[in-house]
Amino acid sequence: MLQVAHHPLYSPTIPIHAALATLAIVAGAVALLSRKGGTNHSRAGTLYATMIGGVVLTGALLIMTGAWSIRLLVLLGLTSFSTFSGIRVLRRKKPHLDVSHHARRLDWMAATVACAIGAGATLASSLGVEPANARAIYSTAPLLMVYGAYDLWRFARPTAWLAGPQLWLGEHITKMCGAYFGAMSALSGAYFTFIPMPNRIILPNVIGFLLTIILLYRMRRRRAQRSRAAQLHPVH
């Protein structure tokens, strides 16, 4: 990691960044555990997104003033892009039916940058840059690249075979879980020093992946139950 010594903005930014990250983790946990679509989920989600915005700004400042590393850049990119894309999809629930729900220029730009950071970090690590962080980078950078590439494909093909009335919900769950556990990876990497590296970076991502699978399975099962109930009790 390249250190820029004694920059006047570096030291005072650290506690602000840590406080915002902690608030984001707490708010994100409330959003994950509360009833989806309810008031608590909405309020906690809004607070989480706001805190993540602060985390991204202070994290970028830390990277520029004294904590540059590819690993931190990827974690910051994963958390910020997943949060951004996971929220934006709430405004684009039916791109296969309504052109007003198609991606905007900002969506295209964000997805392109995410792809570039993910691909660039993976390539740099494969060439031996930051060898001590290689496993941590390999566990996060490809995910960021996949998220960005998926969005670009969906933007270009809004009526493709995946399109459906509940796709937006699956995307929202997947991206917000990715954002939350990306933030957890960053927090764990910085403060959970009792866990050896790179496990303290990788472990939150593994937990996040498993939780995403569980939530998507529950969503699919509930949709199937509603479909069966509608067939048994049709509305006349």
Domain spans of the chain, in order of start: 1-68, 70-224
Q: HSE, CB side, 13 Å, CA atoms: give it for residue 58.
A: 18
Question: What is the full per-residue pLDDT of the chain (236 aa) written as tens digits?
Answer: 444 455 788 889 989 999 999 999 999 999 988 888 889 999 999 999 999 999 999 999 988 887 788 988 998 999 999 999 999 999 988 888 888 999 999 999 999 999 999 999 999 999 999 898 898 898 889 999 999 999 999 999 988 777 777 889 999 999 999 899 988 888 888 788 888 888 888 888 889 999 999 999 988 888 777 777 767 766 55
Name the amino acid, one letter, at 47. L
Going by C-alpha positions, the residue among 92, 73, 79, 105 that lies closest to residue 20 is 79
∠ CA 233-234-236, rounded to 5° = 130
